[in-house]
Structure formats: structure tokens, C-alpha cells
A and B are shown apart, each in its own frame.
Chain A
Amino acid sequence: MLYRTAGQFKTSYEADQALFPVKQDAFLLGFIMVLAWVIFPLTASEFTFQTLLIPILIYSLAALGLNILTGYAGQLSLGTAAFMGVGAYACYKMITIMPWMNPIIAILLSGVFSAGVGVAFGIPSLRIKGFYLAIATLAAQFFLVWLFEKWSWLYNDNASGAIQVPNLDIFGLYVSGPQADSIVQYYLVLFIVCLLTWVCINLTRGNLGRTWKATRDMDIAAELIGINLMKSKLTAFAISSYVVGVAGALFVFMWRGAAEPNLFDIPLSFRILFIAIIGGLGSILGNYLGAILIVGLPVVLNLVPEALGIPVSSSMVEHLNFMIVGGLIVFFLIVEPHGLAQLWRLLREKLILWPFPY
């Protein structure tokens, strides 16, 4: 009833291929946008901003980047965190060398560096496939983290070996550093996430996205129908690393405020891979659903014992978190290997027919 698509006729090919061929989808997205842009910022507390809203957005952006590479182009990557690190360090260096630079531009440019590094580590993908390719991204992961530690120029020769985000402002409004307001940071993150998501949706729908999908499904066949595999795989690496790099810059500048090299170690890579897989590989929406689950779950779990009045030590909660997240991952993979996005797709099919199933 609510999701009835009957009667929405398309008279041209363009209309049928539009971003929202069904009106209700557009309404739903509009509703989510209103929530994200108006309702949440008006109602959220400092705690909600810092533990839920901002990290969920940043993690979904990183997962989106990974999803382009793994979900759309079919190249397994276990080195996402290292590419986030490249973005973060690039942004930090740009800000320290050119302090007059607009932070938004610096963040968007920092992705370019990680894209370059991503392409360099993506070159082996032309020859190595499947699980063997994971080694290329793992090499990137361990080598880059080592580099962040040893190359003191990257962190301005700090004694601590960590990078500390300075106070940055856009037209007098602080966006990062200790003086920044959470709500300003939230809007900035939201803006960049929306922008990049919009770009990525259209990329994956277009010519490039189709060559990626063909490469993913069977790369020899793709080559036979005239797809340039080198171009397809390397663009996937470049664009994916760009998005991941921007997410990394946001991760440090808009959320953590400081970063040590081991922040970008392999557990972060796995975390993002979980988000992408639980959300659904080859889906844009899935990244957001996955991030809400993976980021939100520990926060909720932390609140549960307190709410029930059971005294549990914080280390116990942390270990329980590990167990529950691990168990849930297995559970979700068994119940729906195609991820949360597939659950939404099924629900939508049901809603279109409801309440007359035939």
C-alpha cells in the first residue's frame, strides 16, 4: 500500500534509468536526509555525536571505499586501514606545510595521495588473483604502518611519534582540534560523506561501474568482450583508495583528534571489512547499515549492564563485546550472506506487494 509502484509509468529510457525510478525511494531518502541534516543535529548530545553519529559516518565512508574495490571490482583488500593512514598523514603534512589551506580542500586533496599509493599497490592485481592478491594489500598494510613509525618527517619529528590535530577554522568557525564544536564537525563530515556517496553511486551506475562488475564476475570474460582490465582494476584501486584516504583524514581530523601509527593497524582494516561484508558487498546502502551495526553495537552493549543494574567490569564488557561481535558476524553470514542490504531488498519486495501478496 505504502510502497505501491503500480501506476508509475516510464515513457523514456532515461526516466527508467534515473536514480530513483520509484517515487517512494526518493521520499524515503528525503526523510533520511531530513533526519541526518536537521533532526539529529538538533537533538543529539555531545556523547551521541562523538560515539555514534560521527564515527558511523566516517566508518561508512571507509567501507564505501573498500566496497568499491572488493564489492564492485572484486579485488580483495585487507589493507584499508593503511590507506586511511596515508590520507590522514597526507592531510596532516599539508596542513602543517600550508596552514592557510582550507581544511575541506586539504581533506579532499589528501585522498589523492592515498589514491597514488593505492594504485602502486594495486599493480600486482594484474597478475595475482583471489586470496593471493590479499598479500599485496597486506604488504601495503604492514609496510605503510612501519613507514608511519620510522619516517619521522611524517609526524614533524614529534617526540611522541604521534600526530596531533591543530585547531583549524573555516571563516572563523573551528572545525578541528580541541576547540572545535561537535556539531560543526558533524556537518562537515556529513557534507563530505554525502558528496562522495553521490559521486560513488553515479560512478557505480555508469560505464566505469559496469566494467568493474564485469571484471568482478569473471575477468577473463571481461577481457574478451573488450574491457581493458588494467584500466578497470587500477581505476578501482585509485577511486577506492581515494575514498578510503578521505575517510582516514576525517577519521583523525574530525573524530580522533590525534593518531599513532598503530591506530592504522590491521584490526581497523578488519573492522571496515566487517562493515562492508555485513552490510553487503556490492551495495552502497549496505555500508551505512553495516556501520550502524558494528559501531552502534558496542555502544549499546556498554549501556545494557548499566541500565539493568548489573555490575560488570569494563574489561569484561570489552571481552564480551569481542565475543558478541564475533558471534554476530558468524550469525549474519549464516542467515544472510549477502548482507543487510539484501534484507532491505527483500523487505522492499514484500512491501511493494503488501497487503495483497498476489
Chain B
Amino acid sequence: MDLLRDIFINPFVEMAAMPDLFLQTLWEGLVSGVLYALIALGFVLIFRSSRIFNFAQGIMVVFAALTLVGLYAYGIPAWIAVLLTLGVMFVLAVSIERVVLRPLVGQPDIILFMATIGVSLFLIGLGEIIFGGENKQMITSELGIPTGETLLEPWGGLLILPHLDITVVVVGGVLVAALLAFLNYTKMGRAIRALGDDHQAALSVGISLQTIWVLVWFIAGIIALVTGIAWGARAGVSFALEVIAYKALPVLMLGGLESITGAIVGGLMIGILEKLFDGYWGYPILGGNTETWFAFVLALIVLLFRPQGLFGERIIERV
């Protein structure tokens, strides 16, 4: 009986009693949701254009952040370091396409998936050799990211909105909008979508597979850099960040592997729900730290009802 009360009544009583705490939890969920959505977007772009389930996306986030911090540590000014990091991500995209993807065209999905895991191991080793494995401070103020806090007092409570988080949400939103505009209104973007719809048809109208692959991996690299800066500013830069890569997986599954809308909605949903669940149910009843598995279980439950995810393409099977 107590358990039922803990599940169905107490959390809501608490929410109503302390609306400021509720809003704070919601806000934190939103911020991490934006970051999940960004990582998932990188995945979706690559999956749509090449059917590759890119496990290395999370490592690319860390690698980009490490490169940026490492270059800055060598005395290069912050903004030039950003440009150089983008250059590194481009080189990475080209070399992944040349060395890994081109020889593996047409192999079963699982082989390509394993190849991306191989790439991520390689990047971990490379990153640690060049830049060292210890936790590093993100160069937040050097990049001109505000670090103050805004305090709001709704209903006499206290709501803390760090400017960093506001920047993350705004930049994330702008990036998503820019990406959508790019995909919908430019020639390259249309080519990417065409490739996603039908490989053969896209090739026959003269769309270059190789160029598009390099392009999507580069875009994924840009997204990785932005995510890496944002996440690194909150938690420091080290390969411990790769856990967020695992978080992007349920986001993708929940939203549907091919859907950009799905990645965004899924990311926000998981970000907010896991914070709420851990704050109001997980911590009091289960002893906390439920964020490690909640997203996966949520995605699993949703998939039981919609096997293709919320916004995925309907799976049609023929014999």
C-alpha cells in the first residue's frame, strides 16, 4: 500500500508542493535532452544516407572536444582552434570514408556496425596518445560562452538558470533549424535525402555516393564538436563522456532510426522523463542512479507498441 502511495500519489504531491524544484528538474532535463537530440541527429544523418549504425558518434564528440582543448593547450587562440578542429573532423570524415566505408560497401549491417566500433576504439587510443586521458577543463570563457546564472523566483521559490545551459539550448535549437533548412532547401541537402530514400535511384541521377558520405560524416563531426563543447563545459572533457553515446541509442530507437523529427522529439522526451523519473520515483523508491537504464527501458516499452519507433518508417516485410 505504501508502495502504491509512493508511486501514484506522493510524487505528484511533491511536484505541486514545490513547483520551483519541479521546474528546475524540467529545465535540467530539457538541457540534457537537447544534447541527446544533437548526438542522435548525427546518428540519423549517417543512418539515412548510408544505412550505417554509427556507433562512433559518441566517441567523435569526445574526440572533437579533446582536439579543441588540446590545440588550445598548445597555445593556439580559441577561435582558430575551433576552425582547426573542424579541419580535423573533415580529415577524419574523408579518411573514414576512404579507409573504412568504401571497402565495406554492401556488407551486412552488423559488419558495418562493428567497423564503426573498431573506428571508435581506434579514436580512443589515438586521442589518449595525443592529448592524454585525464579530465580536462573546457575552454568555456575563451570561446565567449557566458558563465553567469539567472535567478528566477516563481511562486516564492528559486529557479537557477545557468547562462551556459541557456546558450546550449539556444545553440542547439539554431543548429537543428540550420540543419533542417540545409536538408530541405539546398541542393546538397536534397541529395542527402534522395540517397536516404533510394540508393540506386540517387546514383542513377548522378549523385555521388562518396561525396555525400564525406559530407554527412563531416556534418556529424560538426554536430559532435558543438555537443562536445556544450557537454565538456558542463562535465569536463575526457573519454568518460562516451557514456552519452550510449544514451543516444535509446533516443534513436524511441524516435525511429530514419527520422530527424524522431531524434529531436526522442531526445527531449528522454532527457526530461529520465530526470523526472529519477527525481520523483527512482531516487525515493529504487535508491537513485536510475538514469543509467531508464532511457533504455522506456524505449523498449515504446518499441513493444511501435516496433519502428515513434516516427520511423513503417517496416514492411516481404518474403
Contact = CB atoms under 8 A, between A and B. Distances in A.
B304 A128 contact: yes
Interface in A78-135: 124, 127-132, 134-135
B303 to A, nearest CB: 5
Given A321-B125, A322-B121, A333 B114 contact: yes
Interface in B214-259: 246, 249-250, 253, 257
Contacts of A354: none
B115 A329 contact: yes
Given A131-B53, A131-B109, A132-B308, A330 B99 contact: yes
Interface of B: 53, 99-100, 103-104, 107-111, 113-115, 117-126, 128-129, 133, 246, 249-250, 253, 257, 286-287, 289-290, 292-293, 296-297, 299-300, 303-304, 307-309, 315, 317-319
B125 A329 contact: no
B208 to A, nearest CB: 22
A326 B118 CA distance: 4
B257 A131 contact: yes
Contact of A146 (B249, B290, B317): B290
B118 A330 contact: yes
B319 A132 contact: no
Interface string A317-341: 0011111111111100110010000
Q: Chain B: interface secondary structure?
A: helix
A17 interface: no
Contacts of A127: 303-304, 307
9 contacts: A128-B304, A128-B307, A135-B253, A139-B297, A143-B296, A149-B289, A221-B319, A322-B121, A327-B122
Closest 8 CB pairs of A and B: A326-B121, A322-B125, A323-B125, A326-B122, A329-B118, A139-B296, A142-B293, A143-B293
A270 B113 CA distance: 11
A62 interface: no
Nearest to A218: B319
Interface residues of A, number: 48
Contact of A220 (B246, B308, B319): B319
Interface string A130-173: 11101110110111011001100000000000000000000000
A349 to B, nearest CB: 22
Nearest to A339: B111
Nearest to B303: A128
Interface in A53-82: 70, 76
Contacts of A224: 319
Given A131-B109, A315-B133, A322 B290 contact: no
Nearest to A330: B118
